[in-house]
Structure 1
Amino acid sequence: MMLNHSIVSSQQKIAEKLTILNDRGIGMLTRISNIKKACVDKDPASKPAFLLEKGLEQTFKQIVKRFPNFEKGSLNQYNNLGQFKNDILKSLSLYYHTFVDLLDFKDHVNDLLTTIDACQIHFDISINYDLSKNYLDLITTYVSLMILLSKVDDRKTVLGLYTIAHEMINGQGDPSFPRLGQMIVDYEMPMKKLAEDFVPHSKLIYECLQSLVPIYKQKNVTAEEMRRNLMLNLSACPNLMLQPPFTDTINCDILSFDQIERWVVLTTPLCIGYMQHQECLEMFRSVLLNGHVHVLYRDDTILTHEFLLKFLELVKNSSAKKLAEIVKDTQLASFQNARYIHREKRQFLRSALREMSLLFTDQPGLLGPKALYLFMGLSMARDEIHWLLRHQYLHWFDPTKPNKLTKGMAKEDWMDKSLPELLFLIEELRTLARKYFQVIERYYVEYLSGADSCSLNLHMEQVLNVLPEDEAILLSSFHSTVSALNVKQIENNESINLRPLRLDWFRFQTYTSVIRPTFCLTKSSALAKTMNTISFHSKLVDFIDEVLFETSDLSLFCFYPNLFFENFHICFEYPSQLRYSIAFPLMCSHFMSCTHELCPEERQFIGRKSIDFASKVIDDMARETKDIIAQICDRHCELNLQLEPMQSLPFLLDHLKKKHRKDNKKQSQQQQNNLVKPGSESMRLNREEMNFLDKMNMALAEWCFALNYTHSITIWEFTFFPKEYLYTKLEIQKCFVEVNEKNEKIRVYLRPTEMLNIIESYMKIMLTIENYVHIDITKAFNNVLGQQSQLIDSNGNSTLTRHYCDLYIDKLLRNIERNHVIYLPSQKSFLSAGKSDQSHPDQIQHENYINYNELSALCEIIGVVGSKYMIEQVNGLIYENLIKLKAIVSQNKEILQSLRINFDRPDMMRELYKRLENVDLALVSLLNIGIYLAFKSLLTECLHEVLEKRLPYLMLSAEEFSKNFNDQKFELLINEMSASCGFQTNIDTGLYQIIKTPNSKTCPEDEYTVSCLMMVLLAVSISRLSKYDSSQYKAELQAHANNSHCIAMAINTLAGCLFYDMGAECQRNVQCRLTEFLALASSALLKLAHDSESSNSSSGQNGPLSQKDQLNRDSVYIILDQIVQSSPFLSYDLLESCFPYALLRTSYRQILKKNSAAVNSSGVSNLTNLLIND
């Protein structure tokens, strides 16, 4: 007793020691937890290399067996550790000194607890809240540390290795090792040792627990009781909406219920001898019924019932037996019923927090008077989430779960499909509290300086006379501090620091909670409750972030990664939870709050983990949104395809079949039901019925709400922008290319009009995203379509330009001759005229791809740049055939020179012509050039129309410029500009540049000669076309069957490119060469007529030629007319001087007469037949 009176509580600095030791205890828990995980981790990279040496396994077993007694003489048997001693000392130093720090922490805690016992401090959490809470926190932290210490697997190996290596290097062991080793041995069974150590302190611990009973009863209520009592209901009494709540236990109202249960579970075994009070036993029973997993630290938990039973079986007294019976009675009930109780609580909290969020969003001013309700709701929701996490992990992932008790429980029993909503509401309320913190700050500055100051003054006058001098000074300073607060401090942005006030109040509690005759705080409960209220209000002025951390920290998810993603994926399964998915990346910003300065090495790891979690979640959200957009776009594309003309064929056939099946009405009705008309998806009986697009649009709106909820999320030192994730994930160009590639794999090539419909459908859907998310979709499309006009995109992938270049060049143009395709100038289309080889894998109907509409759509898709690429590839094909022509010219060079000189000598011409080689090949190359030029001309015309539609003013300016600027020096540049705009020019600039590319093998004079001889070869070879029936001119098609009508374009274009040269005489040079060509071709054709008549006479037939031969000859004559008609360099006067125009008129008349007779005899035109066959 003399010792107790000699200790003065005000001199022991109990408040300061409790604060420091509690903080240090959390740091020690962090370090021990990390060591425990490092020892358990099976990853070799996380352990020192020597611990994995198989040769040292026997040594490790010996160390564990002899621990902690390592005599100097016995160290010789550890000589094999000599080569690793430096590595051991270096690698295990952190582990060893952590255990040494734990030993030091243990000593300080024991000293402080002894001092508190000696001071005879009285604990009551409703009165000296800070003192009681910190006392219970210190004890539970200490108990958790010792339990965690006993769970570190390799603790003896680590400590033994370190002390042996230390003795090998320094000649003696570490001085701390004997006590440290003894502590490790003593706490092999931690609860038994702790119960023995805490016998002197058990009375005070029990006193603390007893003070928790009314608080626990107040918090341990079911969801139904909460509803009945209107808990967290702000709108229950509208007339009291602006009035703050009045409560005597304001700090206890936001105290974590989870923390109270942890106090009860971990401190009850330390005061078993005093556990006689029925209310305490009922509280203990309720805690055990409320759950079967309780936390030590973070994700280190205990199976409460097994843990307590294991300890209580070692204690032999009546109180222990009574507690053991309670544990056994509640074990099965907890496993079976607790989840339903907490499920109902979470359901209630969701509705309460939702209403609270709506009210605070609409009226932020209510955050002032109703701030307590905000933090109460956050605290209760946080506790329920922590409870669910611990129990989910036990039943889903923990291999140590008790199978007998969990038998028959499915995974779904522990799943909360509405958990994302609860998490979202917590985040939303936290955001509101931070956003309007000035509202809260201003309100409580006024409240402290007004109502709280007056209340404190009233109670202070009653006790000031009986207080010792030091306590009286503290109490007076409380009043002066709160009275001095002023709103102007906030308006002037002055920092308000009320931490000294709260620390002084903590000191005041330690000074006055001692039983003394003059003044005891427990007997002045009114003053204590007023000061507790002032302490809480002061936190809302300068410490609101800390209050939010205490009531709504969700960093526990950091240590349950599997549960984090399991609960996140609930959003994918339940559409009602989609919009709340943003809560998960927001929650990652909590993770750094669980770090501690005593464990700095953990900060980097948790920081990277939080960033990885957030990045993956936002990435998944953006990817899912992108997939939904793709599905909507695909569906719209399908609906657009239903409106294609070809889709009407089944309905036409059905209509025709109905006329022949009037007998079988049932079958006809059944077939009609199988046909789905476009637009039928919009027909419904009521709006509640949701079709596929309705569901997808709803999901899209929900995902977009989530991604657009916050502009940015700051985690550690990084900032995430969810909308940017979506923007990068859209990858519209990839969608288009994937659609094309998907069809190409099944040998189905999307026509440009179909692809344009797809792009327009995508664009319409994408533009609707702007209604949900602030993203510039137009900019995205401009960027995407700009990249699609190139051969590769920014990622090096193929584009639509590449795909369509391959389709048109390799699969269409190169196969025109084999597939019997005719170019129809009148219809601006290519037509498959013969029976094509359908067995060929690349067989395509040309008329479906090469017509004015399709090429216009193609120019819309690939734009000017893409069209330029395609034209360049066509020019490449033309140049290939030109090279073949030049090779044939070189082969017949001497003969062609003679033909050029002797064009006026028919007999000589006849003999020389017979000596020419590969004339047919030359004609094939010429026809190919003509076909390619026809395609290029059609593509250029379509490009011109598209540009006129898009850029009418720019096109008008370009047209005026090209017409009125006549400087010959810049003619090629003007032609190039005009060609890029789709204007027809006299000289094909692109082809000219390819042909005129300098060639080191030949000189310009030789090139010119070869070009002249090529025109001679082509001129004398045209007459050969009359030998082929395919050369017949089809009047109804306005084309030759073998595309001979394309020769006119080929001749004029080649002449312009081959003989054009800079200078004033350039046009005259081209005209001279074409005149020479015309003279030679006319001579050959006139000779053809003469030879035909001579051949007919020599065969003994005095009549006219056969109709077939006549038709072939007349068809070839027409080519001359087409050459002159399409040439800018030739005139009909020139043609009349070489070839009688009367012969041309006769040819046209004969061809029309023949085609008219054919039409009258068959009753249907060849073109119609072709279309029908197609």
Structure 2
Amino acid sequence: MESAIKYINKKFPNIDFRGNIQHLTSIQRQKSEVLAATASYYDSFLDVIEFRDHVYELLNTIDACQCFFNIAINFDFTKNYLDLIITYTSVIVTLSRIDDKKALVGMFNCAHEMSNGSSDPSYPRLGQMFVEYEHPWKKLTEEFGPHTRSVTAALVSLNMVYPRRNLPAEQWRSAQLLSLLSAPAAMLEPACCNTMACEYLSMEVMERWIIIGFLLCHTSLNTNQASQELWKMALRSGLYLTLTRDEVLNIHKVSEDLFDCFKGYVSCIATVFENQISMSIPYVIVSGAMHRERRHFLRGALKELFKVLEDEPGLLGPKALFVFMALSFSRDEVLWLVRHSENMPKIKTPDDYIDNQMAELLFYMEKLRGLMKKYNHVVQRYHVQYLAQFDALVLNDTIQNIYVCPEEESVLMSSFVSNLSALSVKQEEFDFRALRLDWLRLQAYTSVNKAPLPIKDYTDLAKVMNMIQFHTRMVDSVEELLQETSEVSILCFYPRVFEKMFCQSSEEMTMKRYLMAFPLVCTHFSQCGHPICPEEIEAMEKRSLRLCVTFLEQIAKLTSTVVLEICAEQCNLNDQLQPKHCAETISAARHRKQKKPVPKKGEVQKEKPGAESLRKDRSVVTNVDKMHLMLTELCTCFSLCSDFIVFDHIIVPTEFLLSHLEIRLSEIIVRMANYNQTTQEIARPSDLLTKLRAYTASLHSLSGYINVDVTRLVKSVLLQQTQPLDSRGGPTMTTLYTNWYLESLLRQASNSLIVHCPTMHCFVNQTTDNDPSFRAEEFSDISELQALAELIGPYGLKFLSENLMWHITSQISELKKLVIENMDVLVQMKNNFDKPEEMANLKKRLTGGENVLKRMTIIGVILSFRSMAQDCLKDVMILLKHCPYLMGPIECLRDFISPEDDIKVTLSIFELASAAGYTCDIDPTLVTRLFSHPFNVSFLDNTSVDEEYKLSCLLLAYIAVSLPTLALDPNSLYSREHGGHNNNIHCLATAINQLAAAMFTVQNKNIAQQLKEFLLMASSTLLQLGQNVERMESKNRESIYLLLHMIVEESPFLSQDMLESCFPYVLLRNAYREVYRSFIVTLG
């Protein structure tokens, strides 16, 4: 295809499609695809030809009619004429810049001829047009030679408007332009003048008319002094003009290139042009400073104007013209900076083309736009009355003074008066488009040569009608006028400049409150498209949304960073008040009391909490002051609007802030947990809870700055932290604490390095010579577990329980293997437990008893920890605070239900009660885990339910007959201080009761009956232990006896009467006396 394109470009437009077929074989093979791909481009080029023909016809008609043009008199007629010329020129120049136009048209025609046997009828004209406009300006000047008189007349009329609009900021300031406070007495007088529409006419538009108009009709510059003055003034305004969107015209370069064509045959004109350009260069160099001063003036002027009108919106009626003037002036300066920033000249003062305060100008432009929309009814009501009670009368008087009035013109003007006179504020809908169109028709009728009613002779009529036209627009088309004077949608095509402006403004402290203007400007971008070209709307929508979201993300990021820095500072201050930091203060007080020597001068004494609030001079600004000031500035920008629409997408800025805060707060919470998997270190739950409370307290102060639902934010973040993963898939404090308690605390407890202490309801370290890596009680006492329960809540505790149950089921799997290995012996021991001789022989054959007890102890330790955490959930009153009326019914349901009832109903209620922190007879989590675990789906490998039940019974028997071996362990000694045994065997009571209840619930068997059989067997084996007085087994016999009592005491299915029936109470009493006798009581 490349060779075909090169051939077409080389031979265009005279391409031999038949003689050189070897160059076009690729098009021949894909002619259908080529036609389909290039048809839209070809049709667009044909549209240009058609448009050119219509322009030629219209311009020739205007010249033939010798129309009169004056921007101050027949404004609409003149404006549309100049717009037509500029639009036509922009189309032709843009067309000449399309590099592939010849290839596209040539390929289409080639494929067309190959498909239809003949070229497209329009191809010769299209090819000829491309050749003619290889040098567009030269051809355009030739075309507009006959139209010089009309164009010059229209442009020269700008002498009444452009010079007084193109003034430096000093003159604006001295004239107090746009100020309502400069003349308080005239504040209620309507703002009127003879050239209403010219007052808010865009300077950019006028400069485009002047520069391009005189380039096309250059001969007038040699004959008309007024033309030369306008030309020079426009040249000094800058270097670039906008053709369309981001297509710009380097006016000096284009002028120089054009003048080169004149040398040799129009030398005088070339000389004039060159002199004018050389004269304008110094002004161009300083034009950046002039526009910078204008922007500086406009920022103050717009702020003052907005403040006055916001306070007195009734002034929008008489002073509406001021608003549109302010918006138009500001828009011109924004667009000038945009096109020159993208094409910045190499000068010594580049700062003139950088504005780090652009946010303020855009902000007040949006504020004024919003004010006009909000009080549109005020403006409408004022101007309806003005039209009916003043304009209609003035127009009628003016018409009466016209001596000669043709019939058609008379009918039009009479309809104007009648329509305006009939207006009433009671009307609900107004539409003056027909009236304004009639006024344009009347301008056309009266502007032609030898018109019966020449408008140039009746300037009073033109002035009145121009004023009426403005007033009618104030009634029915304020939105359109706002769009005309203040839309800056061109920024959509300069994304790099737009983003750079935002970054520059965001670096300035005083500009942060205006940053919301940047995303709000993106609402203008929907005006960029055109119904004739719908295919580009999607691309514009994506670009607009991308820019809008980028700005909002940056604003939210800045705000969230400041908010969380303040929270961190408050957290640090709060941490200084913690009791753990008072040791130094107490020590210093004790030294003073004992009159010990004070610290040396070189030692720096630590400041007390609150010292940062003591200031002798308020001018001293602290870091916290700066952060609060920045937060105030950033939050102010969110007040610009609660929501806005970009291409049918509703944008809510505060949601971006909440989203950022949610993400950052989640990260901070995880970071504050300070979990180190390598060293197994983690922050104490109480410390994390204290920090979290400080953060949330500081976060709630945000609602004093901005209307956001901080409570919803905090609840969302904390709820995510109760889940294994947050909304972004990151770890949560629930996951971190679950991992730490399982991998660190409970692992050491399983190895008896840490002891479960029922007396203090915590875990404590064993007394050893080595310093422990952490103190277990600092992470497992009631206050810490209550803090943990408050942090991770019922959901987090459920996740913790599920992980604990996974470890329990892995231990049960190992127990199953041991039971199967010793099944025969266990069956015999179960049947002969009341025969000491046979039990002694069978016990010698039994293996793995210590292993069974060890694994059951691990299960007991895990269940004890879970029970402690579960109790703290209820103790901490979390659920009573959130749902107080729900807790009573849950407790009643738990007490009312019985294990003998329907198992599904029972488990459902127990699961509800367990989630509320209540202890249940049957652990629903353990039952669920046993149901789902492969070991319990089929408790044996493909065994029947009866055999499954048999294994459960034998496991209890295994435990019962193995209990005496615990007496051999010196760590089995009962500790009165801890309320348990040093090797955690007291946890067997919890393990046996919970595991038995769960297993027999799964198998739908009687729990109490099986536990009673276990009690009989355990009692029998322990009574046999008492007969061996001289053996090692009797050393910790009393401590083991107490274990039997603990099993019964913790079981909801066993009673003391059952125990006494099989185990003498006197033995328990003596056992308690014996273990307590050995305990040394110390009194401090």
Tell me whether the two structures share a fold, i.e. TM-score over 0.5.
yes
SS at match of 2:683: coil
Which runs of structure 2 are paired with 1:689-728 in the superposition (5 Å)? 689-707=620-638, 709-728=640-659
What is the aligned counterpart of 1:606 among 530, 536, 540? Answer: 540
Partner of 1:438: 377
Picking from 797, 816, 830, the partner of 1:867 is 797
Residues in 2 aligned to 1:906 and 1:518: alpha-carbon distance in whole angstroms: 140
Structure 2 CA distance for aligned equivalents of residues 551 and 836 of structure 1? 84
Give distance in 2, aligned partners of 1:210 and 1:976.
90
The reply to whether residue 596 of structure 1 matches residue 530 of structure 2 is: yes
Once the two structures are overlaid, the 10-residue window that deviates more, 611-620 or 916-925, is: 611-620
Q: In 2, are the aligned partners of 1:812 and 1:844 still within 8 Å (CA)?
A: no
Amino acid at match of 1:227: R
CA distance in 2 between counterparts of 1:178 and 1:1014 reads 101
SS at match of 2:219: helix
Q: Given the superposition, is the C-alpha separation of residues 916 and 138 from structure 1 closer, same or farther in structure 2, using an over 3 Å criterion?
A: same
Relative to structure 1, is the Cα distance of residues 566 and 650 closer, same or farther in structure 2, using a 3 angstrom cutoff? farther
Contact 1:976 1:990 survives alignment (8 Å): yes
SS at match of 1:126: coil
Does the Cα contact within 8 Å between 1:130 and 1:506 map onto a contact in 2?
yes
In structure 2, relative to structure 1, the CA distance for the partners of 1:571 and 1:1059 (3 Å cut) is same
Who is 1:359 aligned against?
308
Counterparts in 2 of 1:649 and 1:265: CA distance versus 1, 3 Å? farther
Distance in 1 between residues matched to 2:163 and 2:735, nearest whole Å? 74
Deviates more, 1:1041-1050 or 1:523-532: 1041-1050
- Counterpart amino acid of residue 718 in structure 1: H
Q: For residues 1030 and 285 of structure 1, what CA distance do their matches in structure 2 show?
A: 105
- Which of 565, 580, 602 is the equivalent residue of 1:667? 602
Q: C-alpha offsets along residues 1116-1135 of structure 1, whole Å, 9 cap, x if unaligned?
A: 44434544554556666766
Instruction: Report how many aligned residue pairs link the two structures.
Output: 1065
Partner of 1:292: 239
Q: In the alignment, does 2:401 pair up with 1:454?
A: no
Counterparts of 1:106-125 in structure 2 under 5 Å?
Answer: 106-125=52-71
- 1:954 aligned residue: 886
Q: Does structure 1 retain, via aligned residues, the 8 Å contact 2:833–2:1017?
A: no
Task: Identify which of 229, 238, 250 aligns with 1:303.
Answer: 250
Partner of 1:877: 807
Measured after TM superposition, the shift of residue 381 of structure 1 is 0.6
Which residue does the alignment assign to 1:234?
Answer: 180
Q: What's the offset of the Cα at 1:561?
A: 1.6
Note if 1:529 corresponds to 2:463.
Answer: yes
Residues 1:871 and 1:161: Cα distance change in structure 2 (over 3 Å): closer
**Using a 3 Å threshold, how does the CA distance of structure 1 residues 266 and 1131 change in structure 2: closer, same or farther?**
closer
Report what 1:340 is aligned to. Answer: 289
Q: Is the 8 A contact 2:395 2:465 kept in 1?
A: yes
- Which of 159, 183, 186 is matched with 2:132 structurally? 186
Q: Quote the offset at 1:429 in angstroms.
A: 1.5
CA separation of 1:744 and 1:502: change in aligned 2, threshold 3 A: same
CA distance in 1, matches of 2:734, 2:866: 16
Q: 2:766 aligned to 833, 848, 855, which one?
A: 833
**2:850 matches 1:920:** yes
Report SS of the residue matched to 1:248. coil
Structure 2 match to 1:999 = 938
- Checking the alignment, whether the CA contact within 8 Å between 1:822 and 1:832 is kept in structure 2 is yes
Deviating more after overlay: 827-836 vs 215-224: 827-836
**CA distance in 2 between partners of 1:248 and 1:1061 (Å):** 96
851-860 vs 1032-1041, which moves further: 1032-1041
| Residue type of the alignment partner of 1:472 | S
Say if 2:1015 and 2:1059, in contact at 8 Å, map to a contact too: no
2:405 to 433, 454, 467: 467
How far apart are 1:824 and its partner, in Å? 1.3
The one of 750, 753, 756 aligned to 1:820: 753
Using the alignment, how far apart are the partners of 1:917 and 1:429 within structure 2?
91
Instruction: State whether residues 214 and 220 of structure 2, in contact with CA within 8 Å, keep that contact through their aligned partners in structure 1.
Output: no
Q: Does 1:281 align with 2:228?
A: yes
Equivalent position SS for 2:208: helix
Cα 1:836–1:497 shift into 2, 3 Å: farther
Cα RMSD after superposing both structures: 3.7
Quick check: 1:292–1:303 contact (8 Å CA) kept in 2?
yes
Residues 294-351 of structure 1: CA distance to partner in whole angstroms, max 9, x if unpaired?
112221112222221222233234343233222123224413x222111111121112
Question: Which residue does 1:101 correspond to in 2?
Answer: 47
Query: Aligned partners of 2:239 and 2:583: how far apart in 1?
Result: 69
Higher mean C-alpha deviation, range 1127-1136 or range 280-289: 1127-1136
Would the aligned equivalents of 1:969 and 1:1062 in 2 still touch at CA under 8 Å? no
Closer/same/farther in 2, CA of residues 562 and 661 from structure 1, 3 Å limit: farther
How far apart in 2 are the matches of 1:633 and 1:1014?
56
For residue 190 of structure 2, give the secondary structure of its aligned residue in structure 1. coil
Change (3 A) 1:130 1:987: closer
> How far apart are 1:771 and its partner, in Å?
3.9
- 2:1080 aligned with 1:1156, yes or no? yes
Change (3 A) 1:509 1:848: same
Alignment partner of 2:990 out of 1042, 1049, 1061: 1049
1:1151 positional shift: 4.8
Task: Please name the residue that 2:959 is paired with.
Answer: 1018
Report the residue type matching 1:1156 in the other structure. Answer: I
- Equivalence for 1:426: 365
Deviations along 1:216-249, whole A, 9 cap, x unmatched?
1211122221121111111222222221123111
Q: Which amino acid aligns with 1:56?
A: A
- Report the TM-score, using the length of structure 1 for normalisation: 0.83
Residue by residue, what CA displacement relative to the aligned partner does 1:276-308 show, whole Å, maximum 9, x if unpaired?
554543332232222111112221112222221
- Residue 1070 of structure 1, CA deviation: 3.0
Mapping 1:322-337, distance limit 5 Å? 322-335=272-285, 337=286
- 2:1018 maps to amino acid: F
Query: Which residues of 2 match residues 17-416 of structure 1 at below 5 A?
Result: 53-56=1-4, 58-63=6-11, 67-70=12-15, 78-80=23-25, 81-275=27-221, 276-315=223-262, 316-335=266-285, 337-395=286-344, 406-408=346-348, 410=350, 412-416=351-355
Percent identical: 35
The 3 A distance-change label for structure 1 pair 1029 and 707 is same
Over residues 502-540 of structure 1, what are the superposed CA-to-partner deviations in whole Å (9 max), with x where a residue is unaligned?
222223223333454975322332222112111221222
SS at match of 2:145: coil
Residues 1090 and 626 (structure 1), Cα distance of their counterparts in 2 relative to 1, 3 Å cut? same
Larger deviation, residues 530-539 vs 756-765: 756-765
SS in 2 for 1:140: helix
**Residues 591-629 of structure 1: CA deviation (Å, up to 9, x unaligned):** 232333443433443344334433444444445544544
For the residues of structure 1 that align with 2:955 and 2:537, how far apart are their CA atoms? 81
- Alignment pair present for 1:938 and 2:868: yes
CA contact (8 A) 2:750 2:861 kept: no
SS in 1 for 2:242: strand
Q: What SS does structure 1 have at the residue aligned with 2:201?
A: coil
Change (3 A) 1:1142 1:163: closer
Q: Which runs of 5+ in 1 are unaligned?
A: 1-52, 396-404, 1096-1108, 1165-1174
2:859 aligned residue: 929
Query: In the alignment, is residue 487 of structure 1 matched against residue 487 of structure 2?
Result: no
Distance in 1 (CA, whole Å) between partners of 2:922 and 2:126 is 97
- CA change 1:208–1:876 in 2 (3 A) is closer
TM score, norm. by length of structure 2: 0.89
Structure 2 counterparts to residues 732-1131 of structure 1, below 5 A: 734-735=666-667, 738-739=670-671, 743-744=675-676, 747=679, 748-792=681-725, 798-818=731-751, 820-835=753-768, 845-897=775-827, 899=829, 909-947=839-877, 949-950=880-881, 951-963=883-895, 968-969=900-901, 972-973=906-907, 978-991=913-926, 997=936, 999=938, 1001=940, 1002-1003=943-944, 1005-1007=946-948, 1009-1054=950-995, 1056=997, 1067=1008, 1070-1084=1011-1025, 1086-1091=1026-1031, 1112-1127=1036-1051
Secondary structure at the counterpart of residue 969 of structure 1: coil
Deviates more, 1:1135-1144 or 1:865-874: 1135-1144
